[in-house]
Amino acid sequence: MCGIAGIVSLSGAAAPPSREALMRMVGALSHRGPDERGLYRDKRAGLAHARLSVVDLSNGQQPLADTGDTIWIIFNGEIFNYLELREKLIALGHRFRTHSDTEVIVHAYRAWGEAAFARMNGQWAVAIWDSVAGRLVLSRDRFGICPLHFCEHGGRVYFASEVKAIFAADVDIPRAFDPAGIDQTFTLWTVVPPQGVFQGISELTPGHVRIYDRDTVRERAFWKPCYPEISDPRRDEFTGSLNDAVDEVRGALEAATALRIVQADVPVGCYLSGGLDSSLVAALGRRYAGERFQTFSLRFADAEYDETRFQRLVAGATGSEHHEVVVSRSDIAEVFPEVIYHTERPILRTAPAPLFLLSRLVREHGIKVVLTGEGADEMFAGYDLFREGKVRRFWGRQPASMRRSRLLERLYPYLSRSPVHQQAMARQFFGRDIQAYDTPGFAHDTRWRTTSAIKRLFSADMRAESERRSCVPELIARLPAEFSRWGSLAQDQYIEIQTLMSGYLLSSQGDRMLMAHSVEGRFPFLDDELVTLANSLPAAYKLRILDEKHVLKRVAEPIVPPEIVARKKQPYRAPNALCFVADDAPAYVREALSETALREANVFDPKSVTRLLDKCRARAGDGDLSNSDNMALVGVLSTQLLHQQFVVSRPGGARRVDLTVDVDREHREEVLA
């Protein structure tokens, strides 16, 4: 991965982009690309790049141009099928100067235009500047693994991997929260692109290309998921047996894992959580990693969250060189402000903080690239949310049935407030609006209701803004036309991918924590061909009655220790509000939650936050905090820190940057004149 940034005048009348502004932008992204930095500038456009060298170490410097020096590119990510595309382009007469995937993108764009992105299997954020046509092309991968933000201000478009680089470019760009982004976050757990957290700054929608011509702006999807339709499932559905599906998935996963190791000129490590997904990736990754294969795991001082036994079991079985970091509540509290600086958005869980510490451990051991199991739960129906949706729909068809409602007891066994222990409460909570079991978003409405309860803490102004809009109906209204023709599991998977996976798991918990320490994450389960296969499988192959990821467990049986395959689903969790209410909590907590700071941000009501804080402190001794209170305190604190760091403090980028690539056409023209 790398960091990209740029400024393009929306008309020819504006002055050339400031070289100093571009230097500040790339300086703000130095953590994403510590190895090399480059800059291109002409009368209308400026491109800046911070490189993390992973492929073609000696010839991958950016910005990079085509052979005519007219089309320039900056690129963050990896194209895993670039060798295949390169051969096709050579057959069409294209000639290459490097062995990098970056140059392949340039030639692919020249050959196929916007359609080139649909041919790519990878993870990317790309900016292409056609200096002759005066055209800027922005593109982002199918699932939003690589971030890309943009802002249209003062006759220019600013774009960058991270918001902080846009803010660094121009002090006149407004810095304020967007109420719509805050409302989405405290409902859906995240913003859904193009919506952003800050006013005027949007996020490019995954799977889209956005094009700025001299007088027009247009955006379109180059990819969208495809699931079998209820009326004619055979058209798109996998037609083989379950055993056939196991063989196909195993082959696709092996190929995806191999690609992500082979397409790197540096050693590749692996995250190991002790669950099925990362264990599968580690076992397969070991085959292609050469003699030395390093795995990395989180341990927790709190036994409730610790999975050390299973992690070490898999590490021993794969023969990896295993590394661990032990994380305590105080560790989470200590790094939390830095975590928020990198997430650039409020979060409702502290779970990114331990991963921030894990990526630091990876970098300390000289690893730049790690494989992870992210995406398996979304593609193969691994979450309890999918099981919950199935149970509630089954119950909703006979809402008076006590027998059907008892199936709730099979959900969330790892939670202290599980339905197993709270049957009456479970019936009341999960039974709300049960008659609406066939409506879009039904499986997610319990999560959205729980999260929305935090809005009781909103200030009067923010509450008025929240009541003026309703982000759930807006989300439902944007669902694709074919959504209603998919089965219920496919519908649940689609919404989960568009919201939690893309905006939180791959961003706040993924790319941002990895790149904070210059580590690139790679995700075999999000390989284009594997995703297409997973989406085509019958629902019963993925969620067999209530057995989640059934086909994936069958894939794992000959590869992964049986104790891992037989484990009940244990989602990754970390201590939350209790990290911030101990007597020795860091001073920033008190400062961020002070009445003065709360009134200045004007997102939350100070009295309501004080009551919440007192409640959490009172219950800290026995640790009996509700899910809602845990999310509320983390959400409030992260929002307040974000306000301090990006609105009040107004961070900028480094002014002095050593450049590996320095193409300044505007400067040369001034000298010649």
Pairing status of strand 217-221 against strand 149-153: unpaired
Segment (H or E) for 386:
helix 384-396
Q: Where are the alpha helices (DSSP H) in 19-95?
A: 19-28, 82-91
- Tell me, yes or no, if 2 is annotated catalytic: yes
CA distance 155 to 170: 13
What are the beta bridge partners of residue 153?
Answer: 156
Kindly state the tokens that stand for 573. Answer: 């969790």
Going by C-alpha positions, the residue among 649, 650, 652, 648 that lies closest to residue 599 is: 648
Give exposure, 51-68, as e/b (b: 16+ Cβ within 10 Å): bbbbbeeeebbbbbbbee
Look-up of token digits 């590119």: 73
Angle at 97 between CA 96 and CA 99, to 5 degrees: 80
**Residues in the annotated binding site:** 101
The amino acid at residue 652 is G
286 SS3 class: helix
User: Which amino acid appears at position 437 of this protein?
Assistant: Y
**Residue 381: strand pairing partners:** none
Catalytic residue among 2, 151, 471, 579: 2
Phi, psi of 634 (to 5 degrees): -65, -40
Burial (CB < 10 A; 0-12, 13-18, 19+), residue 457, is buried
Q: How far apart are CA 485 and CA 662, in angstroms?
A: 52
Element at 107 (helix H, strand E): helix 101-112
φ/ψ region of 319 (left if φ > 0, alpha if ψ in -120 to 50, else beta) reads left
List, as residue ranges, the binding site for L-glutamine: 101
Can you tell me whether residue 259 is helix, strand or coil?
Answer: helix
3-state SS, residue 292 = coil
Q: What is the identity of the amino acid at 269?
A: G
Query: In the beta sheet, which residues pair with residue 539?
Result: none
Question: CB of 55 within 8 A of CB of 263?
Answer: yes
**Cα angle, residue 629 at apex, residues 624 and 635 outer, rounded to 5°:** 140
Q: Are the CB atoms for 666 and 42 separated by under 8 Å?
A: yes
Tokens 């803004």, residue located = 465
Residues 131 and 70 sit within 8 Å (Cβ to Cβ):
yes
Instruction: Give CA–CA dist 193/620, Å, rounded.
Output: 37
Q: How many residues does the chain have?
A: 673
Distance of CA 297 to the CA centre of its chain: 20
Place of tokens 């990821």: 549
Planar angle of CA 252, 253, 257, nearest 5 degrees:
120
Do 139 and 118 meet the contact criterion of CB atoms below 8 Å apart?
no
272 and 315 in contact (C-beta within 8 Å)? Answer: yes
Both tokens of 392, joined, read 């509630």
Q: Active-site positions? A: 2
